[in-house]
Amino acid sequence: MAIKNITWKSYLPTCFKVKCLPSESRLRVLKQDSIQRLSLADISDPGSPLSASDLSNSVIASNLHIFTLAELKEITNDFSSSNFLGEGGFGPVHKGFIDDKCRPGMEAQPVAVKLLDLDGTQGHREWMTEVVLLGQLRHPHLVKLIGYCCEDEHRLLVYEYMARGNLQNQLFPRYTSSLPWLTRIKIASGAAKGLAFLHGEEKPVIYRDFKTSNILLDSDYTAKLSDFGLAKDGPEGNETHVSTRVMGTHGYAAPEYVMTGHLTTMNDVYSFGVVLLELLTGKRALDKSRPAREQNLVKWARPFLKDPHKLDRIMDPRLEGQYSMEGAKKVASLAFQCLSHNPKSRPTMNNAVKILELVLNLNDIPVSSFVYIAPMECKRKEDDPKAIQYEEINEGKLKGNVNQIHQEKGERKKEKGYYRHMHQPSSRAVYSDTACSV
């Protein structure tokens, strides 16, 4: 007897008008699903007994709102350019606003609406993976999926709105100042907690596309993982890996995965090490505009990570020395382990979380102000008016007479070679880290 394949049309109730009679096998799966999450493997398995009616009665439907296309057009002003937030591999993203006028009892909040680009690199499978996974999993460091829309060929996802966009734009800004040290560590810690949660599931989830553009930030710089279209179930039982087609982003994928297609949670750990390296150096994982030997960040910078005396050569100069030296060493050591060519030598994400939490609590960040360097002369000549003038200025500084200092400083700049200028050494620059709430 021929077995009828179950297509995407049978999974979500609003996509297609499908009615399936419950069978004994389907009821067994539904009963199991109330305790254990639906496996991502069930999505693409043509022999899966799941149907639209099963899914509509599962935990997925109870956690998500099902929107119409007309509703999403209304809340985004017909996907107007003024509401455009950005575009990724899935498609364009627009900002919208929902409240109880849209649905009774719905919390008033801004949202991000992602529309599948039918000509893009992702499609049905990635859209379904997001719905099934984020419809079941909830965590402070995973972006919240509020609902979805499935009408005809249209596939849309509705997420909570993240005010500060993604880490890539914050870490590599074109015009604004870069992220302070503690903010970077807070983001790394949050992202690590998100990965640790996924890996710690009864059915482990491998994220498979961990990178700066997929780490979203709220107004307090709390990191949340997004874009789960490439996620896969990890190995279970006696399995050592999952064999799959190589997917992800060049520069972030673990070398053993690229070479063999063997996927484990250690692939995510390697990708996390790449992001840690980007946070330390302020450089992108791949950048062809850099000198040839520096274009691949991991190949260039990894050797510096194991030598604390060479670490300052790769630290982001935009930090201006305003970071914990002890913390930088710990993060560099962690990144070095994550980037090991031997997957078994890499730490678990739980261990990474513990290390980053310790770094957050270190208080050895320099807090010195502008430093005034006195002249080298030990003796003052009584008849030298310049020396007398300098002494008076120095005394004025000690008394807090800042206005007098600045006025006299302008005059002294013209006298080259006699005094050293007041300056701000890069290793002791003052930077207020008030943006980070730890």
Which CATH number do you get for residue 130?
A: 3.30.200.20
Residue 283 forms part of a structural domain: yes
In which band, very low, low, confident or very high, does the pLDDT at 1 lie, cut at 50, 70 and 90?
Answer: very low
Q: How many CB atoms lie within 10 A of CB 91?
A: 19
Quick one: pLDDT at residue 372? Answer: 52
One domain, residues 319 and 297: yes
- Per-residue pLDDT, averaged over 107-124, amounts to 84
Residue 332 forms part of a structural domain: yes
- DSSP assigned state of 296: B
Residue 218: name the closest of 198, 253, 191, 181 by CA.
Answer: 191
**Alpha-carbon torsion angle 391, 397, 399, 400, nearest 10:** 160
Quick one: pLDDT at residue 106? Answer: 84
**Position 421 pLDDT exceeds 70:** no
d(CA 419, CA 2): 93
d(CA 186, CA 308): 22
Q: Which domain holds residue 13?
A: 8-63
Q: What phi and psi, each to the nearest 5 degrees, are found at residue 293?
A: -75, -10
Give catalytic status of residue 33 as yes or no. Answer: no
d(CA 151, CA 72): 12
Q: What phi and psi, each to the nearest 5 degrees, are found at residue 97?
A: -145, 130
CB-based contact 436:186 (threshold 8 Å): yes
The SS3 of residue 225 is strand
Instruction: Write the CB contacts of 435 (distance below 8 Å, at least 6 apart in sequence).
Output: 180, 183, 221
pLDDT single digits (tens) 5-14:
434 444 454 4
157 forms bridges with which residues in the sheet? 114, 148
Output the CA–CA distances (angstroms, integers) from residue 99 to 107, 274, 394, in the order listed: 5, 39, 63
pTM: 0.75
d(CA 68, CA 52): 17
One domain, residues 125 and 194: no
232 forms bridges with which residues in the sheet? 206
One domain, residues 54 and 94: no
pLDDT single digits (tens) 24-35:
433 333 334 444
Residue 3 forms part of a structural domain: no
One domain, residues 148 and 93: yes
One domain, residues 139 and 110: yes
pLDDT single digits (tens) 328-344:
999 999 999 999 999 99
| Maximum mean pLDDT: which of 56-70, 126-140, 295-309, 418-432 | 295-309
One domain, residues 242 and 321: yes
- Report the relative pairing of strands 65-66 and 145-151 from DSSP bridges: parallel
Residue 175: name the closest of 297, 321, 318, 317 by CA.
Answer: 318
In which band, very low, low, confident or very high, does the pLDDT at 242 lie, cut at 50, 70 and 90?
Answer: confident
d(CA 225, CA 209): 10
One domain, residues 222 and 295: yes
Domain boundary among 63, 87, 102: 63
Residue 239 forms part of a structural domain: yes
Give the E-state strand segments of 183-289 in sequence order. Answer: 205-206, 215-217, 223-225, 232-233, 242-243, 262-263
Q: What phi and psi, each to the nearest 5 degrees, are found at residue 103?
A: -145, 130
Instruction: Write the CB contacts of 143 (distance below 8 Å, at least 6 apart in sequence).
Output: 134, 159, 160, 162, 216, 224, 225, 226
CB-based contact 52:10 (threshold 8 Å): yes
Query: Which has the higher per-residue pLDDT, 353 or 35?
Result: 353
Domain boundary among 113, 142, 160: 160
Q: What phi and psi, each to the nearest 5 degrees, are found at residue 61?
A: -65, -30
- Residue 409 token pair: 């400083």
The total number of structural domains that make up the chain = 4
Computed over its alpha carbons, how large is the radius of gyration of the chain? Answer: 28
Mean pLDDT, the chain, integer: 79
- Per-residue pLDDT, averaged over 404-422, amounts to 49
d(CA 112, CA 83): 10
d(CA 427, CA 371): 11
- DSSP assigned state of 420: P
One domain, residues 145 and 171: no
What percent of the chain shows pLDDT beyond 90? 51
Residue 1 forms part of a structural domain: no
Q: 191, exposed or middle or buried, with CB in 10 Å at 0-12, 13-18, 19+?
A: buried
pLDDT single digits (tens) 182-236:
999 999 999 999 999 999 988 899 999 999 999 999 999 999 999 998 899 888 7
- Residue 308 token pair: 């604390």
One domain, residues 114 and 229: no
One domain, residues 302 and 184: yes
Crossing angle (nearest 10°) for helices 325-338 and 297-305: 120
The SS3 of residue 1 is coil
Domain boundary among 335, 360, 385: 360
Q: Give me the amino acid identity at 143.
A: V
**Position 4 pLDDT exceeds 70:** no
Residue 438 forms part of a structural domain: no
Residue 111 forms part of a structural domain: yes
Q: What phi and psi, each to the nearest 5 degrees, are found at residue 129?
A: -60, -40
Catalytic residue among 33, 42, 99, 209: 209
One domain, residues 127 and 40: no
Residue 432 forms part of a structural domain: no
One domain, residues 402 and 301: no
Residue 38: name the closest of 47, 30, 26, 46 by CA.
Answer: 30
**What distance lies between CA 238 and its chain's CA centroid?**
32
